[in-house]
Structure 1
Amino acid sequence: MTSIDRLPTIDDFAHVTEWVFDMDNTLYPHRVNLFSQIDRNMTAFVADLLQMEPADAKLLQKQYYRDHGTTLKGLMVHHGIDPNDFLQKAHAIDYNVIPPDPALGDAIKALPGRKFIFTNGTVVHAQMAARALGILDHFDDIFDIVAADYVPKPAGATYDKFASLNRVDTRHAAMFEDLPRNLTVPKALGMKTVLLVPQNFEYEFAEAWEQSEDGNADIDFVTEDLAGFLRRLVLSA
């Protein structure tokens, strides 16, 4: 995998005018562990829907996540659920666990060009998390799973729809993500790619299938400090 020690320079991002950020475990750090709340809610939804024991529901939930990109998509395909009901219940969480990050806000605000949140969650979820961080006002738009017609990243069609809807020239864009597999398409589209990892580069938190199989082919940079990474781009300019 690309070295976490390699720092960006002005030349690496001088062409970038479109800044695209995933939300969960990207704009807020992995250590916040907000997704654990969502994960519990999704397991409870599956258990209630299919009258399963929690342990069995969790296994099925993860299977749908692996096979379809999101638990939601799997439940829609196999059980015809109402996606709005699922999303509302999945995101019924406590956002107060996210601490404000004024340094990140300053760094995003200083970036030249437009800034977007591109998430497999909902607009409301992204707004709540970004508001807790204190960065919501720095973004031009949020592209969510509803706008994607419930087809999640890493589907190529979803990236194409995001770019078309927002008139993003991907050759002048950068994508920030916490899952390697979600950077394959952006790289192919000509975007600069940055992988967010937990502090100390601990990767055991992710399931093996979430890792890229070809090492660093789709990843230009790796960082555990998004604010510091972005601040370097601004200071380099």
Structure 2
Amino acid sequence: MRPLRHAVARHRPPLPADTGKTVWLFDLDNTLHDCSKGIFSAIDGAMSRAVASSLQLSAQDADVLRKEYWRRYGATVIGMVRHHGIKAGTFLHLSHDFDVASLVHSEYGLARKLRRLNGHKILLTNAPTEYARTVLKTLGILHHFDGIWTIEHMALQGRIRPKPSPGLMKQVLARLRVPARRVVLVEDTLRNLKSARQAGMRTVHVYHPGTPFSALHAGRALYVDVRVNSVGRLAGVRPHAGSDPAVARTVAT
């Protein structure tokens, strides 16, 4: 298999047809690293400042608009592009213009644990490319990934379609050329896992009780194959082999 070291969606060919190996699609924030220690608040602040400077709004009005576009579209940048004609690349740079590396925290031995996980690994994140690569480099795991698929590569029919867009999930499977049953989405956000399951993928819920998106559902969703509270537990997980799609199995640390 040829390595895909850059963005899968634009710079490299898709993965070859079914090789028999699992393809792991990893979310980034609160999946591969813990955002509760400062990154989310830094992103929120930078995002509001970017809205304010782009539209000449007060800090309070910018914060309200940021939240409204996030609720409506799943990403503030979509509202900025759609309603104000702001260039996506410019806004994404402004909204992540802070010292990312100093705020990155992960579980101990993450690189070693990922190395033990058999199969192809691809990042699938609604974050921008520069931010995603910085986080992976800081974590020391960039080289473990065969591809990086970020929000810059989630355009469908001229519009940005981030997770949990069903169209994005179909596009991902088409580019990978791998049967959906061999693709596993590893995520902390349940609505994204639900969309992946509807596309035929297997799902792993990375559950952190203290983080904002995992806390939206305290029980076991029917579209979750396995729940873990540590990415390091994935080496012993086979969500595509003999799992009952109607029952979520919890693997604790």
Q: TM-score, normalised by structure 2?
A: 0.76
- Residues 215/106 of structure 1: CA separation in 2 closer, same or farther (3 Å cut): closer
Query: Secondary structure of 2:36's match?
Result: helix
Q: 1:34-67: per-residue Cα shift (whole Å, max 9, x none)? A: 1221111110111222222212211111110111
- In the alignment of these two chains, the number of paired residues is 214
Aligned residue among 172, 188, 193 for 1:183: 193
Query: Secondary structure of 1:28's match?
Result: coil
TM-fit CA distance, 1:29: 1.8
Q: Is the 8 A contact 1:47 1:57 kept in 2?
A: yes
TM-fit CA distance, 1:99: 4.0
Counterpart residue number, 2:245: none
- Residues 138/207 of structure 1: CA separation in 2 closer, same or farther (3 Å cut): closer
Aligned residue among 178, 181, 184 for 1:171: 181
Counterpart residue number, 1:12: none
TM-fit CA distance, 1:126: 1.3
Q: Is the 8 A contact 2:27 2:187 kept in 1?
A: yes
> Aligned partners of 1:219, 1:142: CA distance in 2, in Å?
24
**Does the alignment pair 1:19 with 2:19?**
no
Query: Secondary structure of 1:27's match?
Result: coil
The answer to which of 218-227 and 53-62 deviates more is: 218-227
**Does the alignment pair 1:230 with 2:234?**
yes
Counterpart residue number, 1:9: none
> Aligned partners of 2:228, 2:202: CA distance in 1, in Å?
14
**Does the alignment pair 1:122 with 2:128?**
yes
Give 1:102-181 correspondences, 5 Å limit: 103-149=109-155, 150-181=160-191
Higher helix share: 1
Higher relative contact order at CA 8 Å, sep ≥6: structure 1 or structure 2?
1
**Does the alignment pair 1:28 with 2:38?**
no
TM-fit CA distance, 1:214: 9.5
> Aligned partners of 2:174, 2:214: CA distance in 1, in Å?
32
Percent of residue pairs identical: 32
> Aligned partners of 1:223, 1:207: CA distance in 2, in Å?
11
- Residues 59/215 of structure 1: CA separation in 2 closer, same or farther (3 Å cut): farther
Q: Is the 8 A contact 1:183 1:193 kept in 2?
A: yes
> Aligned partners of 1:148, 1:35: CA distance in 2, in Å?
22
TM-fit CA distance, 1:223: 2.4
Counterpart residue number, 2:59: 54
- Residues 192/63 of structure 1: CA separation in 2 closer, same or farther (3 Å cut): same
Q: 1:82-115: per-residue Cα shift (whole Å, max 9, x none)? A: 0010111112222122246562211212222210
Counterpart residue number, 1:72: 77
Query: Secondary structure of 2:186's match?
Result: strand
- Residues 59/130 of structure 1: CA separation in 2 closer, same or farther (3 Å cut): same
**Does the alignment pair 1:92 with 2:89?**
no
Q: Is the 8 A contact 2:169 2:199 kept in 1?
A: no
TM-fit CA distance, 1:74: 1.0
TM-fit CA distance, 1:213: 11
Q: TM-score, normalised by structure 1?
A: 0.81
TM-fit CA distance, 1:163: 2.0
Query: Secondary structure of 2:111's match?
Result: helix
